[in-house]
Every structure is written in C-alpha cells, then in structure tokens.
Structure 1
Amino acid sequence: MTYDLRLTTYDLRIIGLTGGISTGKSTVAQFLATEYHLPVLDADIYAREAVQLGSPILDAIAQRYGTNILQADGTLNRQQLARIIFNDSTEKQWLERQIHPYVRDRFEQEISKLSVPTVVLVIPLLFEAEMTNLVTEIWVVFCSPQQQIDRLIQRDNLTVEQAQARINSQVPLSEKCDRADVVLDNSSTLEDLRQKVDLAIKKFKGEG
C-alpha cells in the first residue's frame, strides 16, 4: 500500500516532524502529545521493531556482518552496527534499504486506522528515506551546529569526531529547513520552543 497524501484529497492533517540528530525532535513530539493531545507515531520505534529478535531483517544483518553483530542473547548489538554504518556510506545505504520499507509500511498501517483530525509522524530521516509523501506538512527542528554537537556528545557519550560523523551522514540541516513548512528554532529555552510550537499549531488551523 503506497500512496501520496500530498496528491489526494485527504482530511487527515499529518505533521511530519523531523530535523537534525539531537536538535530536539523528541521534545517537540512530547509537547504535541502531552499539551495538544495529538497521536504521535515514531519511526525509531518501528525501526527497532524491524530488527527485533527473530525478524528477517535481523537475520539479513547477521548474514552480512557475521554473528559478532549480535549480542549474547541474539539481539542486535547497536553500538557495533553504528560503528560500521557511520564509517561506511555503502553499508549505511544497504541497512536503510532493509529498514525503511518496513517503517513506511508500519506508518501506513497505523495511519489507516486513525479517526482523528491530526497526527504527528516523527521521522528523523524524513528526507533521506523519501517519506515526505506520507505527510501533509513538514516541521523541522533545528539548533546551532555547536549546540547540536554538544547535545549529541552528552546524549550518546560520543567523541567530537563520532558526533560529527553522525551529523554528516544526514541531509544538511539548512537544506531541511529550506524544504520545511514550519521551522522551529530550538536554540533557546524550552518555554520559547513551546511558544513556537503553539504558533505553528494555530497557524495551520487558521487561527494565526
């Protein structure tokens, strides 16, 4: 089941929430869920489902990289996989070809069940995975380059080089902002970000 929501008459408002790694997507998603009571579907959750124990995709990963890519209990060693894909673009592309179709299918399944006016899809790789046709508007969260590096280092306990490699593996944040319907600057306080989210919600409801 593949469809382009931008090319159909569809009543459901689908916010595609994206941005750079560690720019604040999860914070905005939490605002939308808790303060605006919107259903939030998360690509990262589906990506984890795709490689769960016993899945065909996990089997394919183990066949490609060997059993060292698995932990003692047979689950995926994510740190080991990250070391591979963030240092080899060919391997990153191979992995994405395995996981992205699964994630798209899961989004489509869940969207088809909804009977609400608005839903949020959190898709960190919205542009990279070519999933823009799943949404009716695109929101990009950004911050300064230094803030992004600092937050990523703190969150994932990475070196500067490792953090920069992960940032460089994505479409440049400036390009994502250029393609967005809404740009949310998360360089300041949480209250400032909350106010910007509120304005964005009202704008697309025709209230602002």
Structure 2
Amino acid sequence: MTRIIGITGGLGTGKSTVEKFLQQQQIPVWDADRAARRAVAPATPAYRAIVERFGPSILLEDGELNRAQLGASIFADPNMRHWLEALIHPQVEAEARAWLAAVSRPTVALVVPLLFEAGMTGLVTEVWVVFCTPEQQRARILSRDPLTPEAVEQRLASQWPLLEKVKRADVVLDNQGDFVQLQAQVAHYLGV
C-alpha cells in the first residue's frame, strides 16, 4: 500500500519548506495551491464563472485573473469565499485523485493547506501538520506577501485554527526553530 502523507498547516507555517525537503528526498509531491491556480486558468469553467460573478474588472490587462483583487473580495466576504471554494475544491480533489492513481511510488505527499476544511483527509494515509507560533506565522506572512495586517487576519480567520489541526494530526512538525531542525523532523518521520 502506498504511504500518502497529507501536509497541511496554517498560512505561513512552513508547508512549502517541508515540500521542498520531501522533493529533495525524491518523494513525489502534489500541491493543491498549484492545482487551484490551474482550475481558474483562462478559458476554464471556473474562470468563466468568476468573471461572470465579478465582472470584467476582476481581470488584468492580459486576461488573467487579478488574484490580489479576487483575494481581497473573497476574504472580506465569507459567502463569496464559500462560493469560490465550492467551485474550485471539487476540481482540486479530482486532480489529486487522478495524480494518486497515476503515481506509483511507496511514499508520496499531498500538500493541501485546506486538507481538513475541504474534507480531503480521506485521500491520505496520514496527516502531518506544520506548526509555529501565531507571532511567527504573522511575521512570515507579512515578510513574503504584500498584505496589510487586516488582510492577514482575514486569511487566517478563513482557515481552521492551527491548534485544531494539531489535535487531528498524526505527526506535528514543529517549525518554531530553524530549517535544520525542521528538516531533521521530516527525515525522522520519513524514516530516512
């Protein structure tokens, strides 16, 4: 049976760092955020539904979605966010299932920030939650994303509380330290 590790955690906790280390260990990794971007690419049904709902002002000059504007809209309005998630999550899950059916390795990983929220835990054999303090989380988000503190709080509020994810985890990766400490934990739980 394939070992399917579900990597999740809150925004800014270090999921991408764990993903990079897994890839260095030759573990095939599928990323839900990239799948969500593909789901709303121009000419897709989701793209057309978004433009119909928000109007052409949601587009950049090149026809791509203005993700900053879309993010500001959906995180300010929970109903709008739920509408978008209902549009995208089934496509993301379908892509994950297809990827799992096509990959043939003893261990694989799915990086799914909304693993619990989207009800995708049934796709994995174990759940790893990447954890750090709320202060570290906020500082990391603000250092990498052009968001206001209010926008950060809206995004964090849209996800399950990190401690709730920790309670449901099979493995908790403590990312309060440095990369070497995180890497050592990942290696330990991988058994390498």
Question: What is the match of residue 35 of structure 2?
Answer: 46
Question: What is the match of residue 109 of structure 1?
Answer: 98
Question: What is the match of residue 5 of structure 2?
Answer: 15
The residue identity in structure 2 corresponding to 1:169 is S
Unaligned runs of at least 5 residues, structure 1? 1-10
Identity of aligned pairs, percent?
Answer: 51
TM-score by length of 2: 0.98
Q: Distance in 2 between matches of 1:166 and 1:142?
A: 17
TM-score by length of 1: 0.90
Q: Distance in 2 between matches of 1:195 and 1:115?
A: 26
Q: CA deviation at 1:168?
A: 1.1
Question: What is the match of residue 88 of structure 1?
Answer: 77
1:193 to 176, 179, 182: 182
Question: What is the match of residue 123 of structure 1?
Answer: 112
Q: Distance in 1 between matches of 2:151 and 2:75?
A: 8
- How many residue pairs match? The answer is 192
Question: What is the match of residue 161 of structure 2?
Answer: 172
Question: What is the match of residue 3 of structure 1?
Answer: none
The residue identity in structure 1 corresponding to 2:188 is L
Q: CA deviation at 1:187?
A: 0.6
CA deviation digits over 1:128-172, x for unaligned, max 9? Answer: 110000000000001000000011011112221111111111000
Question: What is the match of residue 28 of structure 1?
Answer: 18
Q: How does 1:58-77 map to 2 (within 5 A)?
A: 58-77=47-66
Q: How does 1:126-165 map to 2 (within 5 A)?
A: 126-165=115-154
Q: CA deviation at 1:75?
A: 1.1
Unaligned runs of at least 5 residues, structure 2? none
* CA root-mean-square deviation: 0.9
The residue identity in structure 2 corresponding to 1:25 is K
1:183 paired to 2:172: yes
CA deviation digits over 1:45-66, x for unaligned, max 9? Answer: 1101001011110000011111
